[in-house]
Structures are given as structure tokens and as C-alpha cells.
Amino acid sequence: MRTHGYNRWVCLLAIISILFLGQGSLFAQEISLILLPEAEVSGNEIFVSDVISHVNINPDLLYSLNLITLGRAPLPGSTRQISMEYVKSRLLQAGFKAQELYLRGAGSVVVKGGGQSAPPDKLLSMAKEYIIENLELHPNDIDILPISFPSQLLVPEEGELRFTPPQGGRFVGTILLPVEVLREGRIMNRDFIKMKVAAQGSVLVATKNLGRGHIIKDEDICLEERELSTISGSPAMDSNIVIGKMLKSAIKAGDVITVNMLSIPPAIRKSENVIITAKVGSVEAEVNGIALSDGMVGEVISVQNSLSGKRFNAVIIENGKVEILKGGI
């Protein structure tokens, strides 16, 4: 009976040791691991189990090796070298006993970042969707012809693809569309898809010849269908952003109006009649004057009193109205 009770306690102690004390417990055995010369990982981290082979390891021990990290995985297609000494130090930090650990094999392992190559049909589908979204046109008005794809764009596990605007923000004509590989929000790789994009759209054109400095009115413009890839610059498509703007240069009837042709007109123009205000303490006075230069609200220009001929520097506070600078009277 005493022997039977003793055996029960030994078994119970062995179970507790395995469950809670790990490999440095009763029944400890030599752990034989072989470091591989090469390994490939497609996840975000490198684990000990990725770089070793093993001999007669129980499943619980193998599971623990799956939890010990050796650092960040390299970029897809890139490599990272890890020494045997570093692998051993990580095992010891995790609680393995030096006298029980037998690590042999290569002096170091070269770890390559893996991943799946992005299929061209998937890239094209995503690229078309991105271009259509940015052009804000009906898909039937857009024709996209792929010219070339990245030779090998590897996407790691839990990775994603993201497109960004072409250089200059132009989505028509022959373009290089950037595509990025992201992992946990970080850019891991970047390449380009070359394609030709043709698109028909309604754009604003001049109804007559318009000179430099002209303030555009409703009767100066109309909508026409044009091939967008033949237009230099970003064509204006909304009359609300054009009417009231000033032309930087002269254009002819039928010319497409582009955003870079437009500027905000000055609040006051040279030789224009203005109201000059002046403040001294709580006293404010106004006189008529003439602007001696153009200016926007907030800018300082020279003005002249129409009666005395005296000149002042004044800040434009609104259209047709300026205030003499403090101390300028």
C-alpha cells in the first residue's frame, strides 16, 4: 500500500512538472536541434522552429519552439543571416537548460523573406478600379491598356497591396502607376505598372478669345466632350471653380481651360478707387483714394489720398477698402 501511494505521488509530481515547470524539470532529456543553412519565412517574424530541424522532440516542446522569436522577417526577396550563437542565446533566454541543449548544424542560417507573387490579372483589376475611382468618370468612358507589370512583386502573409497616384497626379495617357506592398502598415516594397489610359470627359472650353487677367463669367465658357489624354494639365470640369477666377494668360476660343490657368483675382487693382480708413485711438476716419498697385486681402499696398495727393502704405481689409498702417499717418 505504501509503494502504491508513493508511485501515485511520483506520477502526480511528474505531471505537475511537465505542465508547469517546462523542460528544466524531472525527466529532463537532451534536446537535439539542427540549425539549417537556409530557411524561408513569409510571416512577420522569424521563429526558432523556422530555422531548425529536430530529432525525437515531443509535440509540447515543438510547440514551445514555435513561440520563440529571432526577430523581424526580412523583406520579400531579401535575406538576413542569423548565427548559431544567437539562436542558442534565445533558447536559453526562453528557459532551456544549457546542459540539456545540443545545437549543431550550420554555423549560421540565411533566412530569406518569402511571399506569393501578385498575379498580373489581380494587379490589373485593382489598378483599373483605382484609376476609375480617381478619374470620377463612367467606366464605359475609360479604356485601360496594360503595357508592362512588375517582374516579381512578392506579397508576404498578412501583406496587402496599395496604389498611389502617378507622378504629377495625371491618370490619363501613358502612365507609371505606383503599387506598394504593405505589411502592418509599413511599406515593404514598391514597383510600377505601366499602362495607357484613354478617357472621354466633359471639360470646360472658352467660347471666345479671352485676354490675360480676364475675370471669367458664365458666358465665357461651355462644356464639350474631349479626349482627356490629349489635354496638357488638369482640365476644369466644374463651372463653379472657374467662374470668378482670373486668367493667368490669354486663351483662344475652343481652348480647354485647365486649373493651372486660373488664379484668384486681386481684391484691389491698380488705379482702382478705394476707401482709405485710418484709426487714432477710438476715432476712425475715411477718405477716398486710389490704389497704386494690385493686392489681395491681407496684403500691404500703396494708396493715394484723392484730395491731398498724400501717399500711404495700407493693408487691404476687404474688396475696395484699405486701412492705413499704425503710425503711417
Give me 194's grid cell.
505601366
Q: Is 161 in contact with 181 (CB distance < 8 Å)? A: yes
pLDDT of residue 279: 86
SS3 category, 107: coil
Q: Is 168 in contact with 232 (CB distance < 8 Å)? A: no
CA gap 188, 113 in Å, rounded = 11
Ranges of CATH 2.30.30.760 domains, the chain = 273-324
Domain 273-324 fold is: SH3 type barrels. (2.30.30)
pLDDT of residue 165: 95
Q: Is 34 in contact with 51 (CB distance < 8 Å)? A: no
Residue-level pLDDT, tens digit, the chain, 329 residues: 333 443 444 344 343 444 444 444 433 557 788 999 999 887 778 999 899 987 667 777 778 888 899 998 887 778 999 999 999 999 999 888 888 888 889 999 999 987 778 888 889 999 999 999 998 888 889 999 999 988 778 787 778 899 999 988 889 999 999 999 887 788 878 899 999 999 999 999 999 999 999 999 999 999 999 999 899 888 999 999 999 999 999 999 999 999 999 999 999 999 999 999 998 878 889 999 999 999 999 999 999 999 999 999 999 999 999 999 876 55
CA gap 121, 106 in Å, rounded = 41
DSSP string of 245-291, one letter each residue = -EESS-B-TTPBPBGGGEEPPPSB-TT-EEEEEEEETTEEEEEEEEE
Residues contacting 188, CB < 8 A, separation 6+: 75, 76, 156, 159, 181, 182
Q: Is 7 in contact with 80 (CB distance < 8 Å)? A: no
Ranges of CATH 3.90.1210.10 domains, the chain = 200-263
CATH code, residues 200-263: 3.90.1210.10
Q: Residue type for 232, please?
A: S
CA gap 217, 129 in Å, rounded = 36
Which among 15, 109, 99, 117 has a CA at the least distance from the CA of 71?
109
